[in-house]
Amino acid sequence: MSANRSVTAVFEMDIPNTYTLTKSLSPSSGGAISASPDKSAYTEGESVTITAIPDSCYSFTGWSGACSGTSSTCTLTMNASKSVTANFAVKKYSVSVTADNGTVSKSPNLSSYDCGSTVLLTAAPNDCYDFTGWSGACSGTSSTCSLTMNGDKSVTANFAVKTYSLNITANNGTVSKSPEQSSYNCGATVSLTATPNTGYNFDRWEGDVTGTQNPASVAMSKDMNITAIFVSGTYTISGYVKDGSNTGVSGVTLNFSNSGGSATTDSSGFYTKSVTKGWTGTVTPDKSGYSFTPQNRSYSDVTANQSEQNYTASLQQQDYILSGYVRDSNNIGLGGVTLTFSSSGGSVSTNNSGYYTHTIPSGWSGTVTPSKQGYTFEPSNRSYTAINADQFNQDYRGIPIPFTISGYVKDSANKGLSGVRLNFSNYAGSVETDSSGYYGNIVYYGWTGTVTPEKSGYTFSPANLSYTAVSSNHTVQNYIGTPTAVPDIAVSPLSLIFTKPKTRSVNSEADDSASLPASENRDSEVSLPPDGKYATGLIIPEHVKEYWKSHTPSRKYRSIRDMPPSKDWSVYDSPVKNQGQCGSCWAFTTVAMMENLANQANLSVSKDFAEQVVVSCVYPGGNPCGGGWYWDALNYIRQNGLSPEKCYPYTGTNGNCANKCTAPDFLVKIKNSTPAAGLWGKDNFTVQDIKGALQEGPLCVAMEVADDFYDYRGGIYDYKGGYYEWGHAVLLVGYNDSQQYFKVKNSWGTWWGEGGYFRIAYNDVTDSIKFGSFAVAASGIFVDGQGQTENIIVSNTGTGTLNVSSISCDKTWLEFSPQSLSAIAPNEQKTLTLSVKDWNSVASPEDTAKITVSSNDPDEASVIVTVKASIPVMAARPLLTVSPPFYANISLSDGKTQIEVSNDNGETYLDISNGGEGSMSWTAASDKSWLKITQGSSGTDYGRVLIAYDKNTGAERTGTITVSASGAANSPQYVEIRQSNIDVDADDDGMTDSFEFQYGFDSSNPDDASGDRDGDGLTNLEEHEIGTNPNLEDTDDDGLSDGYEEDNGLNPLVPDLFTITDVITALKILAGMNVNPAGTNADADKNGKVEIKDAVYMLQKLAGLR
């Protein structure tokens, strides 16, 4: 301080912030909002309580804006301007109506009503009821009531039944009522009975009831007044009606006018009728066909009985028509028949159509009799009595009188000739002579014609006999037969027997899924070649190529108009298969053809045949995975047969021939195939040739394979150039002219092409790839166990030509070939081949069929051959079948199944099944301590043996599992387990040799580590490191590929399961709802967010589509 100082402190007032509160109503008429305190502005931090007050017809439903919830009060702290809305809803009420004996309508007619609205009720009584008033929410007796809806309402409409009086007036008598009451309810029924006083009769009712009925019934529908009318006594009018001979005429009606009624004469002609006192009127007699004298009688004020009121009846003369037809037994009119009428009635004749008509007088009685020479008639006559009407349809049947023409046909030695046919002309038929040579035939009166004898190998004298207008029997009409050249049939043998092979039935063995080794889905378990291409493997032998250099195909002529515009044999295909890495297309194509033919023939065996039989058995000791020729495969099948897939599962390796099913009933064979060179070569065929050959069935064909063919995914393939190589075998199954393509079945699995098929353009037949070359076809497929044949020799030992007119069989299970025989010259013979085509139709244990051979042999027109089919009764015998896992590294050697396993701890299994009949008990045992059976060491018929093996720290070792079943075929079975030594990686590709052994890789090829055999997005090396199966796209079988699970943080070794709750959660999240996905699998791919693809995937998984 160097001087005095003056300081002033300035203070400013701290004005607090203020806020407004805006209050709204929805709807505005729903109520009010109060605020406490209620201000236009509030200071910051001030508390205000607001209350919703609904109007009488509204209820408070909740707050919106700065307040929430459904409490009617809300407290706010004012730290900003705020807006709040009170929401109200109008109250709803119902109307309950009761209305017995009537109805009540509502206007408007609703199930509920808004509070404050008005409802108009209208009561309407049922018939016979009156409305008496309201009770409940309505009152009064007006039929209408208006309600204001301020609550639920209950209303009753009251109705009462109407009552009526019944007043009766009765002079000269009484009327009783039942029931007797002073009044009656509407609708009630009252019975009235009128009783006249002495000297009076009840006549009628008047008033509200009319008529003469007594008692009378009255239905009460109003007040009623009824009068019963009684009149004093009655009198009779009586007499006779007789004809001119004083005979009473019955049935005459006498009509009394003025409501007097009528009377009818009895059998004596008498009549009587009562009339009331004082009756006045006329009586008139009446009967059809009569006139009367007098015509009528008149009466006035009858007061006494009137007897002897007689009439005379006279017949009126009238003519009537009698007509009809006379026809023969074929319903053809018969002309010239005379119909004679007795009693002087005359006669008449039928015209050409058999019709007649005749006029007779009224009352005529008599008989009509038809007649014509050579005929009798049915009926023989018709009788009539007192005709008084036309008589139509009086028909007769004319039957010609039969006569017999008979005699003998004998040879020159007077020996009767049997089997001579005598032909009668003019529709008289024919007959044959019996063993004595006698014949006899009926002809009818007037027949004219010729009789001609005939028999093959004979001439006759006379050649024929003629007859004119036959009118009597003709006997001793004899002929002499002279033989010409005569055939003589001899059939040998006349009896034979077929015996069913003593094997299990085709149905029970080859088709029994449990009786044969299990078959797996090769599409998922046979890998693709490591280079990404598919295997081929067709080799055309050099001698076939050379043959077509110097020969021309022999073609059947087929014009375009003779062939349909499309053909498709694929409907008979079995499912598409996958040849894998083995060059076995030739085997797969051959087997595909056999399956197609078997389905066409509907053979009673499994239609899934074993490609491995062809691969391992056609070229013993060779390299069939290096290629082969499908004709060689067909030739092998023709000689040795083809068994079901389950007998010899496909391994995709060469292997030794070790088919487990060699019994005839397991095997199918073919009778025919094209020559060894096929139908044509590589350059000498056309599209028309292929289409023509396809009319008979599918074809094995060859083609060059272009680079782009491997990538085919669908559509019509058309080679456009580029590199191609030989050669691939495929099954050609159809064509389509409108789109110019052939349809073909491949052997690269269902994921390739169009479900394993492809369509190829017609012009690729002439392109460089030469589609369709070296075609081969087959036919005559049959089950070997059903293929036994027997021959019947038909010989001619006579002097004339033997003509076999027919060959027939009475059983469908037996077939013969050929179906007919051509003419057989003397001393020559023909052969019939018989076979049982369907053992399932043969009745066990033995069935008999008859083959009938008919010919022109004059002495033995038919020869019967008896054929028996016997089904041996076999003792039930089980069949032991042991099946290893398909994915294992398996081989067959010296009757043993060999399985290679890794050197580490692990497990494998064997499936045991009974492929025979009866039951079997089996046991399984190991011969090594490191090889243990952990489950299934014994069982009955079917089961699974689980086998565990210890880690191998030493050299390679071998153990054997022996499965035995006492008394069973194929017992015992040996399975050799080979375990590699301690893990090494000989090719240094990162995959241990034991892993490569286990999954079928080449332990000396380092390139297979980078491949993706199962196409799941993981290399084989990655699968080795993760522990997944490189042969399975989805190791844990949860619908997600191993690669997908690995890329998205899932465990490919553990199934990922989803529920419908996971799907619903995902959909709610996608819809923007505030849902927490925690604890669910809504994020299916575990990428941290829920997406559309998650929901789609889970739905597909739940639907079984993945």
For residues 888 and 977, is the Cβ–Cβ distance under 8 A? no
Mean local confidence (pLDDT), 152-178? 91
Is the CATH code 3.30.360.10 the one for domain 402-483?
Answer: no
In whole angstroms, give the CA distance from residue 728 to residue 628: 10
Q: Whole-angstrom distance between the N-terminal and C-terminal Cα of the chain? A: 96
Per-residue pLDDT band at 521 (split at 50, 70, 90) = very low
Pick the CATH number of 240-315 from 2.70.98, 2.60.40, 2.60.60, 2.60.120: 2.60.40
Per-residue pLDDT for 913 more than 80? Answer: no
Residue 547's pLDDT is 85
Interior angle at CA 207, CA 201 and CA 208, nearest 5: 120
**Pairing, β 773-776 against β 778-783:** unpaired
Eight-state DSSP code of residue 715: S
Give the lowest-confidence range in 495-504, 575-584, 887-896.
887-896
Give SS3 for 653: coil
Task: Identify the band that residue 639 occupies on the pLDDT scale cut at 50, 70 and 90.
Answer: confident
CA dihedral 990, 994, 998, 1004 (to 10 degrees): 60
CATH topology of domain 491-500+788-870: Immunoglobulin-like (2.60.40)
pLDDT at 79 over 70: yes
CB 594 within 8 A of CB 782: no
pLDDT of 1105 higher than 70: no
Most confident option among 118-122, 559-563, 980-984: 118-122
Q: Could you please report the per-residue DSSP string of 811-829?
A: -TTEEEESSS---B-TT-E
- Topology annotation, domain 506-783: Cathepsin B; Chain A (3.90.70)
Sole residue written with tokens 């005569």: 486
Provide the residue type at 562 as one letter: D
Per-residue pLDDT tens for 832-843? 988 888 878 888
pLDDT of amino acid 561: 53
Q: Taking a C-beta distance cutoff of 8 angstroms, is the pair 803, 830 a contact?
A: no
The confidence band for 850, taking pLDDT boundaries of 50, 70 and 90, is very high
Q: What is the DSSP string of 598-637?
A: HHHHT-SS-S-B-HHHHHHHSSTTS-GGG-B-HHHHHHHH
pTM, 2 dp: 0.36
What local confidence, expressed as pLDDT, does residue 134 receive? 94
CATH number of 880-1026: 2.60.40.10
Give the integer Cα–Cα distance in Å for 205 and 211. Answer: 6
Confidence bin at 1039 (pLDDT 50/70/90) = low
Residue of 905, 911, 904 whose CA lies nearest to 890: 911
Give pLDDT tens digits for 722-742. Answer: 888 889 999 999 999 999 999
Residues 354-371: pLDDT tens digits? 999 999 988 899 999 999
259-277 average pLDDT score: 90
201-215, 301-315, 1012-1026, 1068-1082: segment of lowest average pLDDT: 1068-1082
Q: What are the strands, taking DSSP E only, across 769-888?
A: 773-776, 778-783, 789-796, 804-809, 814-817, 829-836, 846-855, 862-870, 880-883
- The domain spans of the chain are 18-90, 93-161, 164-232, 240-315, 319-400, 402-483, 491-500+788-870, 506-783, 880-1026, 1057-1102
> Do the domains 402-483 and 880-1026 sit in the same CATH topology, yes or no?
yes
Nearest CA among 685, 712, 704, 711 for reference residue 768: 704
Lookup: tokens for 147: 């309600």
Mean pLDDT over each residue of the chain, to the nearest integer: 85
> Is the pLDDT confidence value at 60 over 60?
yes
CATH architecture of 319-400: Sandwich (2.60)
Task: Judge whether residue 100 has pLDDT over 50.
Answer: yes
Largest CA distance in the chain: 192
Encode 61-95: b = buried (16+ Cβ within 10 Å), e = exposed: ebbebbbeeeeeebebebeeebebbbbbebbbbeb
Q: Spell out the residues 6+ positions from residue 267 whose beta carbon is closer than 8 angstroms to its own.
A: 248, 250
- State residue 786's pLDDT score: 64
What is the reported pLDDT for 1054? 65
For the chain, what percent of residues have pLDDT higher than 70?
A: 90
The 10s digit of each residue's pLDDT in 934-958 is 998 999 887 889 999 998 877 788 8
Task: Give the pLDDT confidence of 327-342 residue by residue, as tens digits.
Answer: 998 899 999 999 999 9
Q: Active-site positions?
A: 585, 728, 746
C-beta separation of 903 from 952 below 8 A: yes
Residue 181 has pLDDT above 50, yes or no: yes
The Cα–Cα gap between 442 and 449 comes to 13
CA dist 3 and 221 (Å) reads: 133
The whole-number pLDDT of residue 914 equals 76
